[in-house]
Chain A
Amino acid sequence: MGRFVLRRLLQSVVVLLGVTLVVFLLLQLVPGDPVRVALGTRFDQQTYDALRERSGLDRPLVVQYLSYVGHALTGDLGVSFRSGQPVTSIVLERLPATGSLSVTAVLFALLVAFPLGVLSAMRSGSFVDHAARVFSQFGVSVPDFWMGIMGILLFAGVLGWLPPSGYVALTDDPAGWASHVALPAAAVGLVTASILTRFIRSSVLEVLAEDYVRTAEAKGLRRRVVIVRHVLRNALIPVVTVVAVQLASLVGGVIVIEVLFAWPGVGRLTYDAVQARDYPVLQGAVLFVATLFLLMNLLVDVLYARLDPRITLR
């Protein structure tokens, strides 16, 4: 197992190198001149040339890329075109906001999806099942930003229970953090909950049809024991993958919700970097999300071996 993890980590480095190359090339294809965006609407040609030279954009592409990778290998992701701040610290600063939002969203999603999915599978065809399916259909069809706006209008506007936007660090003021995170986490979590509900439902249904479940029931085991010991333990293995992937994609992907709720996370950073064509920050953010995905996948594989004795890691 140790060797497996080591090998996978080495492979990850190769994958990440590929990611940097692809992102770098894609950025060259994207129209938009970072220097003009940075200068706004008032400058002259000399100012333009000077900034272009300072930001290193006048160097040949190969030189730009190699110097980027060279620095990246030592942990230096360069400095932002716009703010002049080191990219590594810019991305890391945004981590607590994004991390706390996505973990809360996934917890919320699990809290809703787990009972709903299991119940819906066990009582397939019942009212509960239909209601759960309508809910999940609604959740996957409605865009999260719309949910977000409706949430703001209802809970912040009409009821006045929650603040409409903003961020308080969990470490500064846990209660303030909770009231601020509730709406964005619910908006994101609802979509995730819908996906998970459907997944859990079908996974449980599949296991319920297995021979060993029939055998367990034929043995005269109580329904609860069958469900908990035989059905859930097997049905939840694929669910682990989905949860992990959802979590990883949330960390890099709650862009719209972060922008809407003025949440200072990685998603909003990415959005601003795209608008400003701030290549170093964009590359840094993508690299960060890619790393997270690889680690999550590795974690899932290791968890699999733990959860399912039939799987061995080599």
Chain B
Amino acid sequence: MTRSRIVAAALAVALTGLAGCGAGDSVDVDGDATAGGSAGGTLTAAIGGEPDQLDPHRTSAYYSFEVLENVYDTLVEPDADLKMGPALATRWTTSSDQLTWTFTLREGVTFSDGSPLTSEDVVYSYQRIIREKLNAAYKFATVKSVTAPDPATVVVTLTAPTPNLLANLGGFKGVAIVEKSNVESGAIKTRPVGSGPFTVASYTSGDTIKLTRNDAYWGQKPKLDGVTFTFVKDPTVALQNLRGGEVQWTDNLPPQQVPALKEAGEVAVTTTPSTDYWYLALNEGREPYDDVNVRRAVAFALDREAITKAAKFGQATANQTAIPQGSSWYYDYSPYRHDPDQARQLLGQAGVKGLTLDLMVTSEYPETVSAAQVIAAQLKEVGITVKIRTLDFAQWLDEQGKGNFGGFLLGWLGNIDPDEFYYAQHRTGGTFNFHKYSNPTVDTLLDQARTQTDEGVRKQTYERAAKQIVDDASYIYLYNPDVVQGWSKKVTGYQVRTDRAIRFRDVALAR
């Protein structure tokens, strides 16, 4: 029997199955109804991978933060428009020299184990991050001291004015307020104790994390009895789980199927522009990419619409700057039309012929792999041969750190303040300036904007920096992707957030 006949036979079997039976509509909603007015029920959410650990100060994995968002609180937190608003702190004042911030804590807040959350806990949490140099330590770079004059007051003093201090202290749960005894017992890695709407009830490695409602939560009581997180790496399987009713929420949908899913309406699928951006960086520590004309040539050679389509199946917005349109920091600037002639001319000016670009992408982010193929075709038109190198992420990071690349594709995720969009990436010697960009004008602007307290002036300063960065093609910006999430029609009250924070506190489940 030939191979094609085997395939035909397999197809016939599958078709017979299709014709014979309808879809099984089994709905499996765990959890018993509780007394009281709440709708109750346990929502099962499928996320794309497993958290490495649940200590918010030590993890860097987005999977961890998907869980921790529902378990922990920060001093302040971003609202739906990413404006920082009250959370554990109800109000705050700033001294006239902008160097002292005084926060007043909400009254009567307790951790989920019942012990009170006071200013001492805030001081402990911040000092833990600073002293042990944990992941978010860079957010406290200008913090001189954190003190607790009384149980309801936290005072933060600074070495320089820090207009984005609120974003630093509340932009994500990596700066959450933790409980000292939970840290010291080591239990925080698997059984963290926070003050958020839910609390971790169990963690089965490789399988599930179960949250139950925190009845002592200071805000509006969550309607759900609990949330169960399962880890499903394969998007096809996650979608199947959602359709079958085993799962009621997922952010791991196969991108190519999203348009059809939205059309079908069987499950709710929502896409919202995110604050992420994806870009191409050329290694300015290497010839000929140290020549701005070569970088600009590449920028002109790219057709961003085509790249966006290939990489994200349309679930993204092409952009020539970093900050997305919806943001109050958006800067409308797009000097690079798709113009291969201009690109060839610039390459000629630079005296570059027969260039081969070593472009590094990673299988960890499949969109970089698909984007690279389109970019290779587009650059070929202007005489640049692209050699695509696909690596696993650990190796990719290694090569990036060593500067072993001609160019690479990657994204920056979950940015709020413009400082996060530009500083570490484009400041000379910045932590993530792996492509060795250096422009003294940009350095000065970024340094000024960091401490600029007048918001209008600050925005203008960032726009001047952004213009220079785009003109120099330090990063060749490509697009801002959408956040894509799907949930069962039984789920109500869920809001997709542009910063990808997953909040289940206002969600209800029809029964």
Contact = CB atoms under 8 A, between A and B. Distances in A.
Given A44-B138, A160-B24, A152 B240 contact: yes
A90 B60 CA distance: 20
A43 B138 contact: yes
Given A33-B398, A275-B392, A46 B231 contact: no
Nearest to A81: B52
B1 to A, nearest CB: 6
Contact of B431 (A43, A83, A262): A43
Q: Which of B189, B364, B397 has the most CB of A within 10 A?
A: B397
A262 B237 contact: yes
B486 to A, nearest CB: 15
Nearest to B243: A157
Contact of B401 (A36, A44, A138, A165): A36
B59 to A, nearest CB: 8
A83 B21 contact: no
A269 interface: yes
A131 to B, nearest CB: 10
Interface in B208-234: 230-234
Contact of A32 (B60, B206, B243, B395): B395
Contact of B395 (A31, A97, A263): A31
Contacts of B134: 47, 50
A47 B10 CA distance: 54
A161 B244 CA distance: 10
Contacts of B52: 38, 82-83, 276
B87 interface: no
Contacts of B432: 41
B237 A38 contact: no
A260 interface: yes
Contact of A97 (B25, B206, B237): B206
B394 interface: yes
Contact of A41 (B23, B53, B231, B413): B413
Interface string B395-416: 1011101000000000011000
Contacts of A276: 52, 394
B224 to A, nearest CB: 20
Contacts, number: 166
B6 A138 contact: yes
B240 A42 contact: no
Contacts of B17: 154, 158-159
Interface in A98-139: 134, 138
Q: Which of A41, A85, A97, A277 has the most CB of B within 10 A?
A: A41
B206 A264 contact: yes
Contacts of B240: 152-153, 156-157, 164-165
B4 interface: no
Contact of B206 (A40, A41, A45, A94): A94
A262 B135 contact: no
A166 interface: yes
Q: Which of B49, B244, B394, B398 has the most CB of A within 10 A?
A: B394
A225 interface: no
A288 interface: no
B115 interface: no
Given A47-B134, A152-B237, A159 B401 contact: no
A43 B420 CA distance: 12
B181 interface: no
B137 interface: yes
A293 to B, nearest CB: 22
Nearest to B24: A160
A167 interface: yes
B207 interface: yes
Interface residues of B, number: 60
A82 to B, nearest CB: 4
A262 B230 contact: yes
Interface string A40-82: 1111111101110000000000000000000000000000001
B355 interface: no
B135 A31 contact: no
A164 B241 contact: yes
Given A40-B135, A41-B412, A269 B206 contact: yes
Given A33-B398, A37-B394, A84-B189, A44 B137 contact: yes
Interface string A253-291: 000000111111100110010011100000000000000
A23 interface: no
Nearest to B394: A32
B186 interface: yes
Contacts of A22: none
B241 A39 contact: no
B333 interface: no
B25 to A, nearest CB: 7
A16 interface: no
Interface string B1-13: 1000010001000
A34 interface: yes
A93 interface: yes
B132 interface: yes
Given A34-B394, A154-B14, A154-B17, A40 B61 contact: yes
Interface in B338-393: 364, 392-393
Contacts of B185: none
A149 interface: yes
Contact of A40 (B26, B60, B133, B186): B60
A303 interface: no
B18 A158 contact: yes
Q: Which of A30, A42, A150 has the most CB of B within 10 A?
A: A42
B347 to A, nearest CB: 32
Contacts of A93: 204-206
A111 to B, nearest CB: 21
Given A38-B52, A154-B17, A261-B237, A46 B397 contact: no
A143 B248 CA distance: 31
Contacts of A138: 6
Contacts of A34: 394
Contacts of A259: 233-234
Contact of A166 (B24, B137, B230, B236): B230
A275 B55 CA distance: 20
Contacts of A264: 204-207
Nearest to B3: A141
15 contacts: A36-B398, A39-B60, A42-B135, A85-B205, A149-B236, A153-B14, A154-B17, A158-B18, A158-B21, A159-B17, A159-B21, A164-B237, A164-B240, A164-B241, A275-B394
Given A41-B413, A167-B206, A167-B207, 18 more contacts: A31-B399, A34-B394, A36-B394, A38-B52, A38-B60, A41-B412, A42-B138, A43-B138, A49-B133, A50-B134, A83-B189, A84-B189, A85-B190, A134-B1, A157-B243, A260-B237, A262-B231, A262-B233
Interface of A: 30-34, 36-47, 49-51, 82-85, 90, 93-94, 97, 134, 138, 149-150, 152-154, 156-161, 163-167, 259-265, 268-269, 272, 275-277
